[in-house]
A and B are shown apart, each in its own frame.
Chain A
Amino acid sequence: MSQGDFVRQLDSGSSAIYGAPSHWHKIHMDLPLLLLLMVLAGAGLFILYSASGQSAHYVNRQLSYYGVGLLVMLITAQIPTRFLERWAIIPYIGGVTLLVGVLFFGIGAKGAQRWLEIGGFRFQPSEILKIAVPLMLTSYLARRPLPPSFKHVFFSLIFIAIPPLLVVLQPDLGTAILIAVSGFFVLFLAGLPKRYLGFALLAAVVVLPLMWLYGLRDYQRQRILTMFDPEADKLGAGWNIIQSTIAIGSGGVDGKGWMRGTQSQLDFLPESHTDFIIAVLAEEFGLIGVLLLMTLFLLIIVRCVMISLRAQSMFGRLLAGSLTLTFFVYIFVNMGMVSGILPVVGVPLPFMSYGGTSIVTLMLGFGMLMSVSTERKRPG
């Protein structure tokens, strides 16, 4: 630690500006963000061990996902933002092509075709779009004069609309909305004029009732209705929400203790190690645990916002900002659905829920943020 003093004086973000790179800077890592993510991952494993019923199997698998994710983040962070900006169209086109592929060759479960299988490896192309759409939008808008003109807004909306429409056909309404939202964040941060925002609100008021009547499938309508009255179908669709609400509420302020949550340990809580893992945390660590986790999430978000504000290019700012907001949306939707204020859509809680796809996708996004955090000022 020969440079110890130096590092202490200047945080790694500002070191980029002053051109005095630390070891971390050389490998394009933002140390505070990296540390926060490690803490979050550690907490995630800790909860997962209890939520999976003390399964070493799940914990080991999750640990290996983190490993792969870390590798993906490291590699992504090495890609210069200029390169990302120039080739953003490639993942977008590729993702859309795969989505079309899903419609024809997709593998389904429970009435929906969401998976593609290539060489024995199964994945959901819609996950790629969660990153590819904001990347594409950022690349498109960053080089245009901002706030965007009508023409640019128009084209942006087309870019935003295509992937969600394909995803809705699978059908996977939840993911479609999340993809659209991630693209919309770019437009918003790029300075979408306020009159468009007003127009968008108005359009939503008109379109939502029509969607309800014609756009939604029965199971989707059922999920939304269930949210408003879970008691109506206690053993069916409402079961998950009732049980997770009981788990959260019975945790109280200080929780029942690690691995002592009766709801989760006795299997009343469905999907306890994946989408509903927050209920396990809330039951075993109480409101204190929830607040600690929320603080951790907010610290990460604040650090990401700082990265976006310090970014050297408009592309970097927009990309970092939109990925940060998307990250928060996942947290909000997941914690909202588990606690019964949003309909149940299959959104995992970032870094906490068990599952490789989610972790790798998230790490890809954070890799891009790392890349933004160390980008060099561009000439003119």
Chain B
Amino acid sequence: MNDDHALKNPQMEFRLFVGRMLFAMLVVLVMAGVLVGRYYYLQVVRYDGLTTLSDRNRVLVEPVPPTRGLIYDRNGVLLADNRSSFNLSIVVERAGELEELIAELDELIGVSDSEKKRFYKQLDRRRRPYEPVPLRLDLNEKEQGVLAVNEYHLPGVEVTVQLLRDYPLGRETAHVLGYVGRINDREIQGLDPVRYSGTLVTGKTGLEKKYEDELLGEVGYQTVETNARSRVMQQLERTDPVPGKDLHLYLDSRLQQLAYESLQGERGAVVAIEIATGGVLAMASAPTFDANEFVTGISFDHYDELLNSPDRPLFDRVLQGQYPPGSTVKPIFGLAALESGVIRSSYKIDDPGFYQLKNEERKFRDWKKGGHGNSISLYDAIVQSCDTFFYDVGVKMTIDTLSLYGSYFGLGEKTGLDMPTERAGIMPSRAWKKGARGLAWYPGDTVNASIGQGFSLVTPMQLAEATARLASRGEVRPPQLVRKQHALMPPVNIIQASEANWDYVHKAMQDVVHNVRGTAQKINRGLNYHMAGKTGTAQVIGIKQDEEYDAELVAKRNRDHALFIAFAPVENPKIAVSVIVENGEQGSSAAAPVARQIIDAYMKYYPEALADITGQQSLRAAGGQ
């Protein structure tokens, strides 16, 4: 027993304790009163206001996104579809240890680094508690199964259904249709927030972008009871969305696929136009990519790979690629020479293999060493693709006539195709050179321009369009991808030229293919209709004076581009085609067979194109003259 204990006074201590205890009880009652007062204040005084908030909390007006319009080819083949996709999201608040959960998911279904990166990036953005953050879009059936089986020990993991764009011909239509992708921070500012409420994607390129307005549709609304995770528990009211309009294209998916097949392994472009309508039957830019990858969100690595590939698969060569047209302009300038009266059809030159301007040393070479011989007419010059003839006639016409006729055929101008972006190419002129280069026009420039070299640049679409104008004897119909509902418009303009001159040029172009001396005669075997064409070779690098050009020694990337334009049947042209094979060297061997395949297929699929002219002319004679 210590001293302290000895001094205790039990009675006094008990009284002291009772006093303190009663005082404490008083405080307890007061504090309990404060609590009751607080609950009374909330539940009675603020009852109305908080009830409204509660209703607003659970009753939500939420947008119902419209289904995006579908895209069909001319025969009703579906090119852009919507399919249900199962997406994996995580409600972070329910997930416990996030890193562990993701590691576990990685074991189950494999989670890539870029998916993780994207997930954490989205997690950093401001969001509501219990809002699911997507980790993986578009789970396959096996992954769905694995997740369903393991769901019980994956807290916070949710699988939701969503409509996703699907391109059955993802690679063959990637450049034409473009693709949709998630709306990014930059795009969101330009979009109507009401129309896009509930819509996650927008057209990024191609027709998906150009026709975004029609494809999107009108948003609907539903009043729903939701929980805090925005999961709809019950639907109360609904205004249906208006689905986006479907697009019906002039495109023929068979020709489109064939175009890619025939370009297999090469870099280049193919365009086919239906002459009667200006409708684009096929437009291919190779190499290509799979548009479906962009819909679900392409991985950063793969995107880098596509972006930095020297073959530039993301680049749409049909509308963005600009190439010197080379000899493919010769029919146009030939017509110009006849029409402008600079020469008559009887005009002939002797070709020594080069051309010299008066008082100038410089030799402008013909592609054929030693020349094409004597007495070369315009017909010969087109069939054999004689450069010297066109140097001579071009200089006689002057650049002004060349660029005037060039522009008649749409060279150096955008075709106006219904696509979001297009380059104009260049049809050089005095004014253009002054403006773009600040230099005066020299006669040497005219020499180069007369065979489509020098400053001249065209896109494959332009070239096809120019070919269609040649084929239709001057009728101008802007090319078009999406079929218009209303009746076909008459041509907006007609290039004035005499029938005799059209006949002359058509005959020369026909013999490029059908005559034994024609530069594209290799492709005429077995041809049961008349095809008109013109080869072209576009120089990639300049060749110095007196330097021999040796294709073997020039690296593949520096080899000439091969070009070919064609239309058929000559008697009543239905289809116009342009083909460019990058570094293909010769139009005759690399590009012309591609055009033949496309036109052959067209004749097979649309036999009425030939039926029109049966009887007018004996087809057997078409084999070769």
Contact = CB atoms under 8 A, between A and B. Distances in A.
Interface of A: 143-147, 152, 185, 188-191, 235, 239, 243, 245-253, 262-263, 265-270, 282, 286-287, 290-291, 294, 297-298, 301, 305, 308-309, 314, 317-318, 321, 325, 328, 332, 335-336, 339-341
Interface string B14-40: 101110110011001101101110111
B460 to A, nearest CB: 52
Given A249-B49, A309-B18, A325-B28, A287 B39 contact: yes
B25 to A, nearest CB: 6
B345 interface: no
Interface string B65-108: 00000000000000000000000000001000000000000000
Contacts of B114: none
B54 A246 contact: yes
A143 B3 CA distance: 10
Contacts of B233: 266
Nearest to A297: B32
Given A144-B4, A250-B54, A290-B43, A298 B32 contact: yes
Interface stretch (B222-230, B491-499, B616-624): B222-230
Contacts of A321: 17, 20-21, 24
A23 B7 CA distance: 39
Contacts of B51: 249-250, 252
B127 A249 contact: no
Nearest to B8: A145
A235 B126 contact: yes
Centre residue among B5, B17, B129 by max chain A CB count within 10 A: B17
B18 to A, nearest CB: 6
A239 B47 contact: no
A314 B17 contact: yes
B160 interface: no
Centre residue among B2, B29, B54 by max chain A CB count within 10 A: B54
A286 B39 CA distance: 9
Contacts of B225: 262, 266
Contact of A263 (B5, B57, B229): B57
A267 B20 CA distance: 44
A250 B47 contact: yes
B57 to A, nearest CB: 6
B42 interface: yes
A290 B42 CA distance: 12
Contacts of B229: 267
Closest 6 pairs between A and B when the two form their complex, measured CB to CB: A249-B50, A266-B227, A250-B54, A268-B228, A267-B228, A249-B42
A290 B39 contact: yes
Contacts of A146: 8, 13, 16-17
A203 to B, nearest CB: 20
What's the dominant secondary structure at chain A's contact region? Answer: helix
B346 interface: no
Contacts, number: 156
B128 interface: yes
A38 B167 CA distance: 65
Contacts of B129: 235, 239, 270
Nearest to B23: A188
Contact of A267 (B34, B35, B53, B227): B227
Contacts of A252: 43-44, 47, 51
Contacts of B53: 246, 249-250
B42 A266 contact: no
Interface of B: 2, 4-5, 7-10, 13-14, 16-18, 20-21, 24-25, 28-29, 31-32, 34-36, 38-40, 42-44, 46-47, 49-51, 53-54, 57-58, 93, 126-130, 225-229, 233
Contact of B24 (A189, A248, A250, A290): A189
B17 A191 contact: yes
Contacts of A314: 8, 10, 13-14, 17
A239 B127 CA distance: 12
Contacts of B50: 245-246, 248-250
Contact of A188 (B4, B8, B24, B39): B24
A185 B28 CA distance: 12
Contacts of A291: 36
B31 A332 contact: yes
Given A268-B57, A335-B39, 9 more contacts: A143-B5, A245-B50, A267-B130, A291-B36, A298-B29, A328-B28, A335-B35, A339-B42, A341-B38
A41 B498 CA distance: 105
Contacts of A235: 126-129
A286 B43 contact: yes
23 contacts: A152-B4, A188-B20, A239-B129, A246-B53, A248-B43, A249-B47, A250-B47, A250-B50, A251-B43, A262-B54, A266-B225, A268-B58, A270-B93, A287-B43, A290-B43, A298-B29, A308-B21, A309-B18, A317-B21, A325-B28, A328-B28, A335-B39, A339-B35
Contacts of A286: 43
A321 B21 CA distance: 7
Nearest to A317: B17
A328 B31 contact: yes
B58 A262 contact: yes
Contacts of B16: 146-147, 191
Contacts of A191: 13, 16-17, 20
Nearest to B51: A250
Contacts of A335: 35, 39
Contact of A336 (B21, B28, B38, B43): B38
A189 B43 contact: no
Contacts of A145: 4-5, 7-9, 13
B202 to A, nearest CB: 26
A287 B18 CA distance: 33
Contacts of A318: 17
Given A314-B17, A328-B28, A268 B38 contact: no
Contact of B21 (A189, A243, A267, A328): A189
Nearest to A328: B28
A201 B380 CA distance: 114
A13 to B, nearest CB: 16
Contacts of B54: 246-247, 249-250, 262-263
A263 B40 CA distance: 19
Contacts of A245: 42, 50
Given A145-B8, A314-B13, A248 B39 contact: yes
Given A246-B57, A294-B36, A266 B226 contact: yes
Contacts of A188: 20, 24
A318 B9 CA distance: 16
A339 B128 contact: no
A69 B437 CA distance: 92
Nearest to A252: B47
A262 B224 CA distance: 13
A178 to B, nearest CB: 15
Nearest to B16: A191
A191 B14 CA distance: 10
Contacts of A301: 25, 28
B17 to A, nearest CB: 5
A290 B4 contact: no
Contacts of B93: 270
A233 B157 CA distance: 26
A341 B58 CA distance: 25
A293 to B, nearest CB: 10
A52 B8 CA distance: 53
Nearest to A234: B128
Centre residue among B18, B34, B35, B40 by max chain A CB count within 10 A: B35
Contacts of B4: 143-145, 152
A17 B476 CA distance: 117
A273 B228 CA distance: 15
Contacts of B18: 309
Nearest to B233: A266
A341 B34 CA distance: 10
Nearest to A245: B42
A263 B56 CA distance: 11
Contact of A249 (B10, B36, B43, B126): B43
